[in-house]
Amino acid sequence: MQRQRPWLSILFWVLISFLTLFPIYWLFVISVKPAVDLFSTPDLILKSFYWDNYTEVLSDRTLRGYMMNSLIVSTGNAVLVTTLGFLACYALTRYDLGGKESIFFWMITNRMAPPAVFLLPLFLLMTQYYRIGDFTLLDTKIGLILVYCTLNLPFAIWTLRPTVEGIPKELDEAAYVDGASAWKVITEIVFPLARPGVAVTLILTWVFAWNEYLLAATLTNFNARTLTTGLSEYVTTTGTEWGIMATISVFTLIPALIVFSLVQRHIVTGLTFGAVKG
């Protein structure tokens, strides 16, 4: 069908691209319009740019702190989750552990539950049980990293499983025969071959933590508040500052686009690695 009617395929992908990119374009349009023009007749083609929204956001020290918190929490969560997930997959796929399929299933069931289910127990754990004197994990970046680790680790394990399973065990055995230690096998043989899958897991868990709102809004107050939760500060009883919110949303897209651009060559390889075994 694609050979006979290539224009249908082109039209389909043009439509999909338009539906995907137009909301992002419209978000940018809102961010460069003054408030008085937002509720006027929509103008799809920009004729002038109103940069005061960007100036206000960049000059706001509080918002810059929120963005730094988001970068620290997202990066810390992605590195921790990917490392633990890779080591867990190696142990579960390389050693003959009894009931490992049940362990994999139990892990993914933890990811099936909506995040709202964990709000109350996590809040109580962070305020009452995980405390040393007056120090609690509530409203701390390390606390938020650990919370996201709880939700993202099962996903990381299931994403990395086919990658690690696709690496022949004979490579490990040959390295052991040559006198390599278990740690050297993991770091110098398995990890380099699993790098595409690790890159995909890293970027996906990073994006999940970067975009998360509900847990961050509940478990942070000011010190560890993230950029996504900062949006709610512009919805007040006197009105909603749509231009500022759109500008902040544009800034939230930029780091994600940068991270995607850095690892995009690994994404397709990582998602398909181990899908077909010879």
Reported as a single tens digit per residue, the pLDDT across 188-247 is 889 888 888 888 898 889 989 998 998 998 888 888 899 888 888 888 777 788 888 999
**Residue-level pLDDT at 162:** 86
Nearest in space to 86 (alpha carbons), one of 158, 10, 179, 7: 158
159 close to 197: Cβ distance less than 8 angstroms: yes
In the structure encoding, which two tokens stand for residue 55, read together?
Answer: 């100036």
Mean pLDDT, rounded, for 35-39: 78
Residue 131 confidence (pLDDT) above 80? no
**Residue-level pLDDT at 269:** 58
Mean pLDDT, rounded, for 54-78: 91
**Residue-level pLDDT at 165:** 86
Nearest in space to 88 (alpha carbons), one of 160, 193, 175, 191: 160
Buried b (16+ CB within 10 A) or exposed e, 19-38: eeeeeeeeebbbbbbeeeee
Band (pLDDT 50/70/90 cuts) for residue 87 is very high
Helix, strand or coil, per DSSP, at residue 132: strand
In the structure encoding, which two tokens stand for residue 23, read together?
Answer: 């909301």
**Residue-level pLDDT at 68:** 92
**Residue reference for tokens 């419209």:** 26
Residue 1 confidence (pLDDT) above 50? no
Query: For residues 126 and 115, what is the distance between their CA atoms, to the nearest angstrom?
Result: 16
Residues forming a β-bridge with 132: 135
Band (pLDDT 50/70/90 cuts) for residue 117 is confident
Residue 92 confidence (pLDDT) above 80? yes
**Residue-level pLDDT at 3:** 57
**Residue-level pLDDT at 70:** 92
Band (pLDDT 50/70/90 cuts) for residue 126 is confident
| pLDDT over 90 percentage in the chain | 15
Residue 69 confidence (pLDDT) above 90? yes
Hey, which of 43-47, 243-247, 266-270 has the most confident mean pLDDT? 243-247
Kindly report the pTM of this predicted structure: 0.82
Residue 272 confidence (pLDDT) above 80? no
Query: For residues 211 and 176, what is the distance between their CA atoms, to the nearest angstrom?
Result: 42
Mean pLDDT, rounded, for 242-271: 77
What domains sit in the chain, N to C, each tagged with a CATH number?
1-50 (no CATH), 59-272 (1.10.3720.10)
Least confident of 31-35, 200-204, 259-263: 259-263
Mean pLDDT, rounded, for 135-151: 88
Least confident of 29-38, 86-95, 213-222: 29-38
